[in-house]
Structure 1
């Protein structure tokens, strides 16, 4: 197959195909007598897998997958993919918990969290409660996604329940593949008024819907990964 043939079928530029080859994401191409690149059906299966997997799993993991398959490390590859799916499932469950919590607050139901709304906690305590490393919380503050107050007595960062909600919303997108939608959701969280429970719930719902779409993209990626593994005769 000529590069232009694959380019037309998959909607990828020929320069992208050459770039994937230079990065070792597909086996080296054959050359015609005139010196032009020629790809086989195996190459096409690799390109197809990369194009299908990257939207749901990200290019970094996709690169690990196709390089691993070239090394015949199929089990290691499949566990990498399984972990990514497990992370997505965890984030979706967290998004659902955020929605339920915000719905309770919107309906005026008093919760333990609301009763301690004004209680301040350290960044270490917030990290323990959200399972987000303190370094990540500091990074979100540095790039403007959250704004943390300082204790007037010692200058340490302090966080209340309202700010913790923002951190929880951001956490659902922590492992998400970079996209315009992710950027927009993070920006919406950054601009969120701490007291606007209705808007916070809307963002949580939009995040859950986004993760649902990622799940569908991962399913498509898995289909083409399976097809590639079969074509390489790596599965029993």
Structure 2
């Protein structure tokens, strides 16, 4: 296949095909006798897979993942794609937890969900439940976003249900791309008339975005499967027609 053929079949421009080859998204093209690029159907499938993967995980992560698929084993390649699905599921779960926490806060009740028996968590437990670093929780504390229930004389932090609920909302907002000032404004609005409703709309949009990304990944499924199945095989493309 010529570069123009691959571009037409994949929906990318000729220049984009060349750029994505240079970035390692697709295997290196073969070369015909006169030095022109020569592609195979797998290149088209890799480009289509990249589109869905980029929609699901972002272009940087998609480039890194697809480049890794070709250099790893079949098992490693399958695990890498599965990790994207798991990541999306976790994001959805976090957004749903945030909604639960928001509704619990609005109802002035304990937030349900992943708290331990007794309703309190250490900083390590809360960081693990949210999928963030403990340093992130300390930073949120410095910014006044999530305050521990108490700090012992040994500087050990304990988070009660209200703080856990607030941490869920902050984590979901940060995952949605909200900067610290915007998160602070949202969290501060929870006590104001209309504030909780706007926060719920924000979290609802977050769930819609995750759903759209999941659909994009599903659409790329067959093409990703073809790329995964080729894992570990040499990047060899037979010399073909005089391509440009």
Shorter chain as denominator, the TM-score bin is: 0.5 to 0.7
Aligned to 1:227: 226
Structure 1 portions without partners, runs of 5+: 114-120, 177-181
Instruction: Give the counterpart of 1:183 among 154, 177, 180.
Output: 177
Q: Counterpart in 2 of 1:117? A: none
CA distance in 1, matches of 2:221, 2:122: 38
Q: CA deviation at 1:90?
A: 2.4
Cα 1:111–1:67 change in 2 (3 A) is: closer
Contact kept? 1:68, 1:77, Cα under 8 Å: yes
- Is 1:74 equivalent to 2:74 in the alignment? yes
Structure 2: how far apart are the matches of 1:147 and 1:112?
A: 17
Tell me the secondary structure at the aligned position of residue 82 of structure 1.
helix
Distance (Å, rounded) in 2 between the aligned partners of 1:183 and 1:233: 33
CA distance in structure 1 between the aligned counterparts of 2:7 and 2:163, rounded to whole angstroms: 48
- Aligned position for 2:109: 110
Alpha carbons 1:127, 1:134 under 8 Å: kept = yes
Against the structure 1 CA distance between its residues 140 and 85, is the aligned structure 2 distance closer, same or farther, given a 3 Å change threshold?
A: farther
Tell me, what secondary structure is at the counterpart of 1:111? coil
Q: Does 1:168 align with 2:168?
A: yes
Residues 224 and 201 from structure 1, CA distance in 2 versus in 1: closer, same or farther, beyond 3 angstroms?
A: same
Aligned length: 212
Distance 1:101 1:16, change over 3 A: same
Please say if 1:22 is aligned against 2:16.
no
Please list every run of 5 or more consecutive structure 2 residues that lacks an aligned counterpart in the other structure.
Answer: 113-119, 233-244
Give the match for residue 216 of structure 1. Answer: 215
Give secondary structure in 2 for the equivalent of 1:183.
coil
Higher RCO by CA contacts (8 Å cutoff, separation 6 or greater): 2
TM-score (norm. length: structure 1): 0.67
Work out whether residues 141 and 147 of structure 1, in 8 Å CA contact, stay in contact via their aligned partners in 2.
yes
